[in-house]
Amino acid sequence: MRLAEFIRANIKEIAAEWEKFAGTLIPDEEFSASVLRNSIEELLRKIARDMDQPQSDAQQTRKSEGKTQSKSIVDVSKKHVEDRIKMGLSSRQLISEFRALRASVIRLWQQDRDRADKTDLYDLTRFNEVVDEALTEAGARYSQKMDESRELFLGVLGHDLRNPLSAISGSAELILRAPDHERNAMLARQMLVSVGRMSHMITDLIELTRVRWGNGILIHRAPTDMRELCRKAVMEMQAAYPDRVFTLDVENNLYGEWDELKLIQVLSNLLGNAVQHGSPDSEIIVAAKKTGDEVDLQVHNEGPVIPEKLMPRLFDRFVQGKSGAANGKDRSGSMGLGLYIAKQIVVAHGGTINAHSSKEEGNTFLVCLPRTAPHDSMVKII
């Protein structure tokens, strides 16, 4: 039996042999067999299929130079890496996986054969070439995902700390100018709230980095009053932008099970977007109402229409529109992460977020949130 045929005929046994090793990579975690095997069997089938294909000397030379030939091997290797990143595997553990897979196949194949011939040697060479090809692609994909994660980490840290920092700075300036002790106490409380939000953001980001990249945003649900949540977010923004007009139009008794700090982050980002891109002399309206088992939250402002070509990518990472500032300059230092972050948090709550923009009706961002948890509390960052 040729090696490719052996792999296909014994794919379950090979996967089980490999699984024993894979389970030792993260001993403190308990993963089901389906999670551990989720792409190994597919990878083995693609390896066997690649080995069946004729290969010229030129193609073999390209492979030895690290120049990929098989798109299917590239695709399955990328998928395998992304699965393993979610599980928290390091690059060294990922390489160990491929070594264990190679060793499992060769050991089981040797046990099945009495002696080797020239055909077997050729098959073994082809097998090692394809595994090396998959490992090369996996390593490149792992590095790419880690670079993207680090970039996102720095972007989120810089973006979402800006609003509370602005609120602290603005409040401090007003304290220095205002002799009113009662107002000073209110501003000091606002500064403490902003500092608390910054602390939570830093904790979340550090936890996300330490545990595993790309696994998701963790939502801590608790009974929450949407009206009070909106008031806190608007107070913080008013302190940061005292010259802007913010209006609340929120129904009473809007209670649900949400992560208050995360939703304040969403609202802060939407309000910051309205400040940055809206007309400087127009009011920014925050409205919320109950609709069936959901709460609809809106942020509305007047200003330039969002370009139609930008709409499909509006909630993507690092997408930026033009500022609506009177001088035409964007001084926010925005990295185009605010709406992306807002969407990830909303989706983690089982909700949706959309935007509507027209010259007649202005710009409105609509967030629809179920009042109770629909399923789990985790969303993947993509």
Residue-wise pLDDT for 127-181, tens only, equals: 888 888 888 888 888 888 777 777 666 666 666 676 677 777 777 777 767 667 7
Amino acid at 261: L
pLDDT of residue 207: 46
**Same domain? 336 vs 260:** yes
The DSSP secondary structure of 290-358, one letter per residue, reads: EETTEEEEEEEE-SSPPPGGGGGGTTSTT-------TTS---S---S-HHHHHHHHHHHTT-EEEEEEE
Q: Please check the confidence at residue 96 and state whether its pLDDT lies above 90.
A: no
pTM of the model: 0.53
pLDDT of residue 9: 92
More confident residue, 3 or 91: 3
Residue-wise pLDDT for 60-82, tens only, equals: 777 666 666 677 788 888 877 87
Number of Cα atoms under 13 Å in the Cβ half of residue 381: 27
Question: Of 149, 181, 202, which residue sits at a domain end?
Answer: 149
Pairing of strands 294-301, 362-370: antiparallel
What would the mean pLDDT of 103-128 be, rounded to a whole number?
84
Q: Please check the confidence at residue 233 and state whether its pLDDT lies above 50.
A: yes
* Cα separation, 165 vs 195, whole angstroms: 8
What the block records as the tokens of 164 is 């509370």
Would you say 175 and 187 are in contact if contact means Cβ atoms under 8 Å apart?
yes
pLDDT of residue 336: 58
Question: Of 149, 171, 188, which residue sits at a domain end?
Answer: 149
**Same domain? 127 vs 268:** no
- Quick one: how far is CA 140 from the chain centroid? 19
Owning domain of residue 95: 3-149
pLDDT of residue 122: 86
Residue-wise pLDDT for 209-222, tens only, equals: 543 444 456 788 99
pLDDT of residue 288: 97
**Same domain? 364 vs 256:** yes
Question: Of 126, 149, 172, which residue sits at a domain end?
Answer: 149
E-assigned strands of the chain?
Answer: 217-218, 222-225, 246-250, 255-258, 284-291, 294-301, 352-358, 362-370, 378-379
Mean pLDDT of the chain: 78
**Same domain? 221 vs 136:** no
* Cα separation, 62 vs 311, whole angstroms: 42
**Same domain? 257 vs 131:** no
Can you give the CATH number for the domain in which 248 is found? 3.30.565.10
If one counts the domains in the chain, the total is 2
Residue 203 domain-assigned? Answer: no
**Same domain? 235 vs 136:** no
Please list the residues that pair with 375 across neighbouring strands. Answer: none
* Cα separation, 52 vs 46, whole angstroms: 10
**Same domain? 105 vs 226:** no
3-state secondary structure of 226: helix
Lowest mean pLDDT: which of 144-148, 196-200, 280-284? Answer: 196-200
Residue 99 domain-assigned? Answer: yes
* Cα separation, 370 vs 76, whole angstroms: 36
